[in-house]
Amino acid sequence: MDLVQLTEEIVKSLVVDTDAVSVKEFPTDEENVMLIQVIVAEDDMGRVIGKGGRCANAIRTLVQASSALKDNKYIKIDIDKF
């Protein structure tokens, strides 16, 4: 499974408005670094970030672990709202 698809599946399982979820990969200037931008509805922002950022950190950890098995790239995940 692609890292962007994995991120999208995880985020969609957390939110109420799954149609508003947008996950895209953006190029970076740094080598071996992948930037994934996640956009969710404003009402779902708290669900994705979680209390104290725990959900966001868990998403980053899962995607980073998957990357270590495949590409071994450093993953940056940016979470934003509409």
- Residue 16 and residue 44 in contact, taking contact as beta carbons nearer than 8 Å: yes
22-45: pLDDT as tens digits: 999 998 999 899 999 999 999 999
The whole-chain average pLDDT of the chain stands at 94
The domain limits of the chain are: 3-81
Q: What is the pLDDT of residue 71?
A: 83
The hierarchical CATH code for the domain 3-81 is 3.30.300.20
**The whole model's pTM is what?**
0.92
Local structure of residue 16 (DSSP, 8 states): S
Q: What is the pLDDT of residue 45?
A: 96
Q: Which of 76, 81, 80 is nearest to 28 (CA)?
A: 76
Which residues in the chain show pLDDT less than 70? 1
Residue 61's Cβ-side half-sphere holds a number of Cα atoms within 13 Å equal to: 6
